[in-house]
Structure 1
Amino acid sequence: MDADAIVAELYTEAARHDPNPWYAKLHELGTVSALDPKARVYAAVANGFDAVDEVLRDPRFLKVIGPADKLDHPVLATLSRSMMFSLEPDHGRMRRLFNKIFTPRRVAALESDLLRAIDELLDRMAELGAGGGEVDFIGEFGYLFPTKVIGLLLHLPESDLAWFRERARRIDRYLDLGGKSPDRLRSADDAVLELTEYYLRLIAERRARPGTDLVSDLVKLIDSGDDRLSDTELVANLVVLLNASFVTTMNLLGNGLLPLVARPELVDRMRADADFASRCVEEILRHDSPVQLLTRVAGDDTELAGVPIPKDGMIMVLLGAANRDPRKHADPDAFDPDRADVGHLSFGGGGYFCLGAALSRLEGRLAFPRLFSRFPDLAVAGEPIRADGFLLRGYSVIPVTTGEPRGGSGAA
């Protein structure tokens, strides 16, 4: 089976459910394989850990957001203005500004608020699960927890938070592998326009009445004249922040729940050892990456791992495959937080390394021990349902029973 045939399978429903058998076939062919750009838009697929790491870090390979004839659409125009999809010097200019505000100190200072949010959600799960009732872990915790974190960062009203999920979903459906249909494009455009209107109002409010939230601090820094960022660019970055933060963390929580529930001995160690809890989070990210796919384009004629890439040739960069490269990890399909190297590429690499990686790691490190301390008999109660997507890999529903809760709010 050649690389073109394997990549074609990644567009199927079976691969969306489990792409790893196809990743294994790509690994058998090598770390990078040439593709026929007439069959797909990609000139090559990178699946090996070292090759993916190289393409993420090497300035020869550029970010890309979409075809030139579609860049006037709101979704692509907005995303192209964000630091996630901008090229230098714009990327560095925006990144430096956000680095001044989104600091490790700011993330660490959120810990007590995060624990309080976790406990509130666990209280709700305990109520819903009383008497053996089933609870949807994704709906009642996996989605709500990172959404509450966004609310904490931006000081958004609780009543507004549910509004964001559908708009993020519509954008993600368009960005997904094989998702570029006219209907999905229109739906994503509408979502971006609605989010833009919301964020412009928010920026105006925080400019008039600044607070201690992320937007207020960004606006103050921008208006001081020390840093250049237009309101349009700020909106673009807030749109990306929404999708990149809560959806990926929701997937981290859902993707990690199942292998942990299946291994009670790991749960016991996680509850007692914060360092081991951190290793579990890293292994979740490696084993079932919340983001499976990125795209890069060659700035000039070049090669990657010996495979020629023409100028403007697009590369399918498979993070999920790289994380299961047998050249990097022994027994890569096993969930093993004790492996010697839990290194992964789930947050990307190089200048575009995920800005929110530290926050996402903190959310996972706090949430799992708290969850299992409160519900030591937590069990999966039915067949989990995978979310409809390849780019962002996670679950839409995981039914669980909580068993008899231990303690109340603040249980540890």
Structure 2
Amino acid sequence: MSPTEILADPLDVMARLLAPEGKQNPYPLYEEMRAHGPVVDVGGVHVFVTGHAECARALRDPDLLSTDAAVQDVKLPGWRDHSSWYWLTKNMLFSNDPDHERFRRFFGSAFAARSVAAWQPMVERRAEDAVRNVAALGASGETVDLVPEFTFRMATGVIGELLGIPDEDHAGLRTIVGDITLALEPIGDLAQLVPGDGAMDRLAEYFQELVARRRATPGPDLTSMFIKARDAGGELTDEELVANLMLLLVAAAEAPQDLLSNMVRLALEHPAKGAELRDVPQAAAGFVEEALRYDPAVQALNRVASRDLEFFGVKVAAGVPLTLLIAAGNRDPRRFSEPHVFDPSREDNQPLTFSGGMHYCLGAALARMSAETAVPRLLSRLPDMALVGTPTFRNQIVQRGHDRLLVTTG
């Protein structure tokens, strides 16, 4: 930037980022924010973080709190009247120690490396089902929307089977999961939580009934395993069990859906790289990591200072919120060469997309496995698949992903 150029005001950048146009392509706006530096102090009342190292530190700093009930009491008065956030603050993602450690200990062992490796045959079966579905729908030249027919079907099929959710219930969960993620967006009016409230109420009722059924008739699924452990140890309340089961479903359906959608789009937009993903099995891991870096499903996370502290030279008072612009950190030129270039061969690729520290995503290994399995299989089965029109994104910025992804299968 030349000395004569005027930096855009950070609050104006955020306002444009939260507008519908900004959500379709936020990356130029992240660069406007980055022009202020890796840590942007807005009058001592808010901090935006754009740097990779700075975001990575913030995700691991015990003095920077996740948005739990106590934080929300200050940040969003009136939230307790809304069931979306009532249930969110009872899961591990929106809690701090000691509750977070208790939840993480209870649920974490189920997602250990040995367990995830044993799920490979199931993941392959679900991938085959999703690919076969797309091939059938597009067999006569019809346009197919990959979001419901491939990416959501795959993601929900995997987590649904693990949790013991019957296949016939999966499709009906799509709107519910999508509405719940709306509650995570920055809001100016509590009325914006209403769609998420209704969705959360329906999902809570669904899981309460599922827990009752599995308690009466246990199966080989994780829900039955968690119920048995809860009833034996009393480490969680039934309400906490339900809240975290809802989290597992929503987190393992929406973000992996968006990862799968982004991978397919990127493969079709970069035909040579897509062909390598299709034809070279070893290319899948690098393609997944670069998709996670280049266009992450999770674009931003929030933290709040628990005490007065200094963060990379910026004084942050207790109670001040920090918005970690994860997607900006993933394109930090100090960390990545040519950060705006999609390069699956990139070495030492460390995207921030699965968070870090004690909040590192429990399902990260499962999401990677699903993506490495399903997308190459889709491209191999349908090598002439092509995009129809310009892909568009949902009107969201925290959990950003395609609303539709139209293709012909060739």
Q: TM-score, normalised by structure 1?
A: 0.93
Q: CA deviation at 1:299?
A: 0.4
Which AA in structure 2 matches 1:61? L
Alignment pair present for 1:186 and 2:208: no
Structure 1 pair 182/69, CA: closer, same or farther in 2 (3 Å)? Answer: closer
| Whole-Å separation in 1 of the counterparts to 2:221 and 2:118 | 12
Is the deviation greater in 236-245 or in 117-126? 117-126
Alignment pair present for 1:124 and 2:127: no
Task: Quote the residue 1:59 is aligned against.
Answer: 62
Task: Quote the residue 2:337 is aligned against.
Answer: 330
Counterpart selection for 2:156 from 136, 147, 162:
147
1:4-54 per-residue CA deviation (whole Å, 9 max, x = no partner) reads 2222221112210111001112222210101247xxxx6110110011011
Please say if residues 40 and 47 of structure 2, whose CA atoms lie closer than 8 Å, have aligned partners that are also in contact.
Answer: yes
Is the deviation greater in 234-243 or in 342-351? 234-243
Task: Quote the residue 1:277 is aligned against.
Answer: 284
1:106-142 per-residue CA deviation (whole Å, 9 max, x = no partner) reads 2222221222222222222122212322111112101
Is the deviation greater in 359-368 or in 253-262? 253-262
Give the SS at the match of 1:54.
Answer: helix
Please say if residues 79 and 190 of structure 2, whose CA atoms lie closer than 8 Å, have aligned partners that are also in contact.
Answer: no
Question: Gaps (5+ residues) in structure 1?
Answer: 404-412
Task: Quote the residue 1:317 is aligned against.
Answer: 324
1:163-208 per-residue CA deviation (whole Å, 9 max, x = no partner) reads 2221222221122133x53333222222222211111111121111
Which AA in structure 2 matches 1:71? R
Aligned length: 397
| Whole-Å separation in 2 of the counterparts to 1:400 and 1:92 | 44
Which AA in structure 2 matches 1:49? H
Task: Quote the residue 2:306 is aligned against.
Answer: 299
Counterpart selection for 2:204 from 196, 203, 214:
196
Which AA in structure 2 matches 1:26? M
Give the SS at the match of 1:45.
Answer: strand
Please say if residues 17 and 26 of structure 2, whose CA atoms lie closer than 8 Å, have aligned partners that are also in contact.
Answer: yes
Counterpart selection for 1:18 from 17, 20, 25:
25
Please say if residues 10 and 16 of structure 1, whose CA atoms lie closer than 8 Å, have aligned partners that are also in contact.
Answer: yes
Task: Quote the residue 1:110 is aligned against.
Answer: 119
Give the SS at the match of 1:10.
Answer: helix
Q: CA deviation at 1:304?
A: 1.6
Kindly report structure 1 stretches of 4+ aligned residues shifted beyond 4 Å.
Answer: none
Give the SS at the match of 2:18.
Answer: coil
| Whole-Å separation in 2 of the counterparts to 1:95 and 1:81 | 12
Alignment pair present for 1:367 and 2:367: no
Please say if residues 24 and 392 of structure 2, whose CA atoms lie closer than 8 Å, have aligned partners that are also in contact.
Answer: no
The 5 Å alignment of 1:76-91 reads 76-91=85-100
| Whole-Å separation in 1 of the counterparts to 2:29 and 2:315 | 23
Counterpart selection for 1:44 from 47, 50, 60:
47
Task: Quote the residue 1:73 is aligned against.
Answer: 82
Alignment pair present for 1:352 and 2:355: no
Q: CA deviation at 1:72?
A: 4.5
Which AA in structure 2 matches 1:218? F
Which AA in structure 1 matches 2:201? L
Please say if residues 4 and 36 of structure 1, whose CA atoms lie closer than 8 Å, have aligned partners that are also in contact.
Answer: no
Counterpart selection for 1:402 from 390, 403, 409:
409
Task: Quote the residue 2:13 is aligned against.
Answer: 6
Structure 1 pair 323/176, CA: closer, same or farther in 2 (3 Å)? Answer: same
| Whole-Å separation in 2 of the counterparts to 1:191 and 1:387 | 17
Please say if residues 81 and 236 of structure 1, whose CA atoms lie closer than 8 Å, have aligned partners that are also in contact.
Answer: yes
Please say if residues 101 and 217 of structure 1, whose CA atoms lie closer than 8 Å, have aligned partners that are also in contact.
Answer: no
Is the deviation greater in 65-74 or in 278-287? 65-74
| Whole-Å separation in 2 of the counterparts to 1:109 and 1:166 | 30
Q: CA deviation at 1:300?
A: 0.7
Task: Quote the residue 2:235 is aligned against.
Answer: 228
Q: CA deviation at 1:373?
A: 0.8
Which AA in structure 1 matches 2:46? A
Please say if residues 143 and 250 of structure 1, whose CA atoms lie closer than 8 Å, have aligned partners that are also in contact.
Answer: yes
| Whole-Å separation in 2 of the counterparts to 1:123 and 1:169 | 25
Q: CA deviation at 1:68?
A: 4.6
Question: Gaps (5+ residues) in structure 2?
Answer: 1-7
1:265-322 per-residue CA deviation (whole Å, 9 max, x = no partner) reads 2223223433320110000000001000110000011122212211100111111110
| Whole-Å separation in 2 of the counterparts to 1:44 and 1:147 | 35
Please say if residues 347 and 354 of structure 1, whose CA atoms lie closer than 8 Å, have aligned partners that are also in contact.
Answer: yes
| Whole-Å separation in 1 of the counterparts to 2:217 and 2:139 | 43
Task: Quote the residue 1:100 is aligned against.
Answer: 109
| Whole-Å separation in 2 of the counterparts to 1:334 and 1:291 | 19
Structure 1 pair 71/274, CA: closer, same or farther in 2 (3 Å)? Answer: farther
Task: Quote the residue 2:5 is aligned against.
Answer: none
| Whole-Å separation in 2 of the counterparts to 1:270 and 1:63 | 36
Is the deviation greater in 69-78 or in 364-373? 69-78
Q: TM-score, normalised by structure 2?
A: 0.93
Q: CA deviation at 1:57?
A: 0.2
Is the deviation greater in 68-77 or in 157-166? 68-77
Please say if residues 170 and 184 of structure 1, whose CA atoms lie closer than 8 Å, have aligned partners that are also in contact.
Answer: no
